Amino acid sequence: MKPIYFDNHATTQLDPRVLQAMLPYFTEHFGNAASRNHAYGWEAEEAVEKSRRQIASLIGANAKEIVFTSGATESNNLAIKGVAEMYAEKGNHIITAATEHKAVLDTCKHLEKKGCRVTYLPVMGDGRIDLDMLRGAITDQTILISIMYANNEIGVVQPVAEIGKIAKERGVLFHTDAVQAVGKIPVNVIADQVDLLSVTAHKMYGPKGVGALYVRRKSPRVQLTAQMDGGGHERGMRSGTLNVPGIVGLGEACAIAQAEMPEESQRLRGMRDRLRARLEATLDEVFINGSMEHRLPHNLNMSFAYVEGESLLMGIDDIAVSSGSACTSATLEPSYVLKALGLGDDMAHTSIRFGLGRFNTEAEIDYVADKMIAVVTKLRELSPLYEMVKEGIDLSKVQWTAH
């Protein structure tokens, strides 16, 4: 038996309806969307344009503003490097946050080597950025603010509309990595005053290896330096023959998400809150990481004090989750996102990210709650520290002696 899947921030299962929509584009409708002279090309192009409208509709954009990519890593690279190169004469300063995905942070680090200046804003204890700090960081050299919509570890939703407003007032472009938010909570590029927005299909029940970048066309008309040279596809911003089946899948995933979001998010929130309530009712010394108020409905990230992280993961090996210590699984580095919130290494190492999704059931929630309670309780029975805390000893006042 494979473990129960609770890792929907890492990737999601392809929705069977998405697969059905994609299948004909591997076989009979195999045309190249750039072929202008025959029906094979036209039907591929038609399918691509339908997908563009489906994505645009979900985020309040115009279909012409959608650029297809291979996923959000590429979308983030194209947005940030594309702006840095195109607007180099205007300035060289970029503002981002310490809790961004590596696809943003490593892109910024690359640009620092090329002469850009990057401000990595810290976050507050709840995982959100401080808007006054953002205002204070903007200079006359600032060309781009890149702040994610919702975080992939803690599910914390940033004050995106406020950031958009600040960016607009100061004449700075605003990019948001919205991978975890699009299709899960309402996202609107007009209301949020976003100029560039990254999405990927595989985090919303679509296929891997396809994504999109929204690029605003009006007030302002955003220009990007292409990072891929070739046939001039996608208004010259991203050359390369389009992945038609993947693009069809992304569009269908967006259409399903748009139709089902109100019901689905309510169902997932209910299950998430049930999991949290059950854990907190039985276990003490458990802590929620990040704001509960500004949070995706399907995310729960909790630290379980006085258990050893590796033992905890081994104890729940029939549940597929991520932990704050296994992120860079080769090394035992604690999560940089949790550290940015102010967690110590101990609490980061004992954190678990529960990422619920469309295909999880209420019965699975109860199974996971029971299993977590049993394993944490058992591990704490073996913990001398937990025993001391239960005896009322203040661990911070203990004089530890080394032997």
Per CB under 6 A, residues contacting ligand PLP are: 71-73, 101, 103, 148, 152, 177, 179-180, 200, 203, 211
DSSP 119-175: EEE---TTSPPPHHHHHHH--TTEEEEE--SB-TTT-BBP-HHHHHHHHHHHT-EEE
Which of 95/212 has CB closer to ligand PLP?
212
Residue type, 215: V
Q: How far is the CB of 211 from ligand PLP (least distance, A)?
A: 5
Q: How far is the CB of 398 from ligand PLP (least distance, A)?
A: 40
- 327 catalytically annotated: yes
Which of 102/278 has CB closer to ligand PLP?
102
Q: How far is the CB of 171 from ligand PLP (least distance, A)?
A: 26
The residue with its CB nearest to ligand PLP is 71
Which of 6/386 has CB closer to ligand PLP?
6
Q: How far is the CB of 390 from ligand PLP (least distance, A)?
A: 38
DSSP 310-379: HHHHHHTTTEE-EETTTTTTTS-PPPHHHHHTT--HHHHHTEEEEE--TT--HHHHHHHHHHHHHHHHHH
Please tell me whether residue 57 adopts helix, strand or coil conformation: helix
What distance, in Å, lies between the first and last C-alpha atoms of the chain? 45
Which of 179/213 has CB closer to ligand PLP?
179
Look at the alpha carbons of 99, 103, 104, 107 in this order and tell me if their dihedral is positive or negative.
Answer: positive
CA-closest candidate to residue 212, choices 47, 17, 110, 79: 79
Which of 104/271 has CB closer to ligand PLP?
104
Which of 92/323 has CB closer to ligand PLP?
323
Look at the alpha carbons of 242, 239, 63, 74 in this order and tell me if their dihedral is positive or negative.
Answer: positive
Please tell me whether residue 283 adopts helix, strand or coil conformation: coil
Q: What is the DSSP letter of 67?
A: E
Which of 8/360 has CB closer to ligand PLP?
8
Give the distance, in angstroms, between the CA of residue 152 and the centroid of all CA atoms in the same chain.
4
Q: Which residues contact 47 (CB under 8 A, 6 or more apart)?
A: 25, 29, 33, 244, 247, 248
Q: How far is the CB of 103 from ligand PLP (least distance, A)?
A: 5
Q: How far is the CB of 246 from ligand PLP (least distance, A)?
A: 11
Give the distance, in angstroms, between the CA of residue 67 and the centroid of all CA atoms in the same chain.
19
Residue 257, CA distances (Å) to 15, 193, 355, 361 in order: 11, 22, 17, 18
**Rounded to an integer, what distance in angstroms lies between the CA atom of residue 192 and that of residue 190?**
5
Q: How far is the CB of 161 from ligand PLP (least distance, A)?
A: 19
Phi-psi sector, 198: left (phi>0), alpha (psi -120 to 50), beta:
beta
Among residues 108, 116, 254, 327, the one annotated as catalytic is 327
Please identify every residue annotated as catalytic.
327
